[in-house]
Structure 1
């Protein structure tokens, strides 16, 4: 059996937002804003076909149009990390089903970047760091304009959410 393997070097644009908002408040706002992909919070197989209505959710007490859904939440920092002074670290997988469906239809390799990941890190003085790697930068190497357009829309939605979450209410 013949196996072919190659490596693509892909420059990734990483967005890093630091906020004085507490880790707990940031995670709570993200959870309340996104909800889950299923009513009972269980991860299930689902299709990405069809348009979804834009639910209106509150972010920092401000109404916001959100098309993103939460897929999974993984606690990356276990108790060992916290024993050594490291803050909490949670990886959130988020998706915009219409965008993901279009991305993989136009460019199957884009499935490696969808759902998108957000890293939420507790930093010193009870601050929080939000880290997001741009999906558009991940698919840019393929030079497919349809995929880039959709990926930029997904990135804009995720970054708008993160900027609203990072901004203190008031």
Structure 2
């Protein structure tokens, strides 16, 4: 991990710059980047999202946690993102979808995404998620965005998650 850029929208630009530098240096490795859907409300992202396909930055796999929540509430109420798949495709990205609450789905999507690199387009893994999935008092609520549980809440959350992961 080279950078944790926070919610200012700089991460996409940095990742695209790193991927383009690798291509220019004849380095065939892939750059992976992870974003929250709420940070896409920052304009700098859209400049970068347009830049990448125009410059054939095709060694980049971006993943977006598409849960419709951000620190101030649902993205639909703060600033609607509309159809992210259609937007990225319109800008020239190859978009795949996965269930971001299912590790098997994520891994499968990322393996597939790797097969798409080197074909002239950046790749987006649009991961549909539910914030707080697996923890009954956290699911679907933006109130837990950036808030740590107390000791009792942590114990309850871990117990619930352990019961859902017992098959792994």
Structure 2 length-normalised TM: 0.23
Higher relative CO (Cα under 8 Å, sequence separation at least 6) belongs to 1
Structure with higher strand content: 1
Structure with higher helix content: 2
